Amino acid sequence: MKLAYKKSNRIDNNIFKLILFLLIKWLYIYITISILYPLNYGLHQHYGINFNVVKEVIASVIFSMETIFFLVTKRKSEFEEILLYMLFIMYYIPLNSIASLVDASYEFLLFSNLFFFLIIFAISCYRKRTVCDTKKLYNIGKRIILSKKIRMVCFAVCFAFILYKISFNGLDFSLSMSGDYVYTNRLSNHEAIQISRKGITGILITILEDIATYAAPFYLLVAIQRKKIGGILVSILCILSRYSIYSMKGDLLLLPVVIAICIICNEKKKYRIDNLMVGSALVVFTTIAIIWIKFGKARIYMLIVRRLFYMPTWLNTIYYDFFSQHAKLFLTDEVFLIKRFLPHVYDSSVLKMISEAYFQGEIVSPNNGLFSEGYMQFGLIGILVYPFLYKLVFDWADHVYKPFGKQVQIFIAFVCASSLLNVGMFRTDFVMHFFSLTFIVQMFSKLNLGTRVHAFMARRRT
């Protein structure tokens, strides 16, 4: 009787979540059309929107089936569960919607949904559980992550980057997020940044920048846990320094993300992260819709939803359109190390070609990842293979970050998901940021965590 009740309750919960996901999807479509259709993006009228009702009906049917599959399958890892929920909300909902929004081809509609289905399938495949005591590992990992050495390294990186920022453009910490300021500042600093990266000093600055990208928000997370005011101020100043130089809005987005993670993971309260993410998405979209209808304001949408939801998936359709008519790349463009050995298929970079072909060169770096990455590299084969390559990377990250607890897992999952929306998995940017950080953490863990785990297991055997 109890088993039947639990099964019935689980079915009811899945149906309720399916309804919520559909509501989020249709809210997203409504606010996107309402806000973006009156606007232009470069020479693209209405932000490329040309809504097709028939394709939306087909997309909604596919979405419902794929959502049911997503809800009934289970992940054996909490990290991968969190990561997949983030990808589902941040990427699949807008990806499924974009075909009807911009009237993309039926082939794109089919292939893009197949791609994410394979991601769900790959991540949900069975994997063996570890036999170690997870709670003990969490406690050991927490001691390491809060250790003085880690904090000193993070402090040194943040402080060094702040000094570099001051030497680069002084004490100006402008936080303007207007489109004109962001792109003007980015273009004006581009040449100076390229000059500063020449020679040995330039290599050291590049390494410092790569480490500071995630070290600063990570240090903020640790400093909040430790209630260290100095660490909080230095880490925030480092994040603001990055924005002052590079004008990347994603840097500022990490501030509320870290604070939200600290609130969610309050040890006195227990939250189901998946329910919280679904509820938060519904609240955000509902709030945006109400503000737009009542006041005609769309700042939250333009800062967050347009950047994280609409632009990456719109670029998916553009990349698909380009590479469905041109030769595939076969790992010859911006792939870490490999690009030095393989001759490029084209005379110029993909970013430049896409920018000139679709934006008349006005958008300097139309970066894109996930579906675009697989398709532009190997076509249909890439769509079939890349989800399983992502699975390998996610498994590695899960193995490395699992001992450090839920706060770090959520942070890394967000960083991974939000980065892959815009950057290819094997591009130098992602390798230098995410892969190098994970490798360093793994090496540090083996030196510290490994010794303590072996001692713990030895005590268990005796």
Give per-residue pLDDT as tens, 35-71: 999 998 877 888 999 999 999 999 999 999 999 999 9
Structure confidence at residue 164 (pLDDT): 86
> What value does the mean pLDDT of the chain take?
81
Residue 164 counted as domain residue: no
> Please, which pLDDT band fits residue 5 given cuts at 50, 70 and 90?
very low
Beta pairing partners, 335: 427
Most confident option among 180-189, 335-344, 418-427? 418-427
Residue 316 counted as domain residue: yes
Residue 338 counted as domain residue: yes
Q: Cα–Cα distance between 307 and 49 in angstroms, integer? A: 15
Two structure tokens written together for 349: 């970079």
Query: 299, 41 in Cβ contact below 8 A?
Result: no
Helix axes 2-36, 53-72, angle to 10 degrees: 150
Residue 261 counted as domain residue: no
3 or 118, which is more confident?
Answer: 118
* Geometric angle at alpha carbon 210, from 209 and 212, rounded to 5°: 65
> Please, which pLDDT band fits residue 30 given cuts at 50, 70 and 90?
very high
Beta pairing partners, 45: 40
Residue 184 counted as domain residue: no
Query: 349, 429 in Cβ contact below 8 A?
Result: no
Question: For residue 163, which amino acid is it?
Answer: L
Residue 328 counted as domain residue: yes
Residue 218 counted as domain residue: no
Give per-residue pLDDT as tens, 254-297: 888 888 888 777 655 566 788 888 998 999 999 999 999 999 98
What's the whole-model pTM score? 0.85
CA neighbours closer than 13 Å in the CB half-sphere of residue 383: 21
Q: Cα–Cα distance between 257 and 249 in angstroms, integer? A: 13
173 or 178, which is more confident?
Answer: 173
Question: For residue 108, which amino acid is it?
Answer: F
241 or 405, which is more confident?
Answer: 241
Structure confidence at residue 421 (pLDDT): 87
Number of domains in the chain: 1
Cα 3 to its chain centre, rounded Å, is 38
Burial of residue 283 (number of CB atoms within 10 Å: 0-12, 13-18, 19+)? exposed
Residue 251 counted as domain residue: no
Domain that holds residue 31: 2-133+269-461
Q: Cα–Cα distance between 67 and 18 in angstroms, integer? A: 7
Please enumerate in sequence order all residues whose Cβ is within 8 A of that of 194, keeping only pairs 6 or more positions apart, or say none.
none
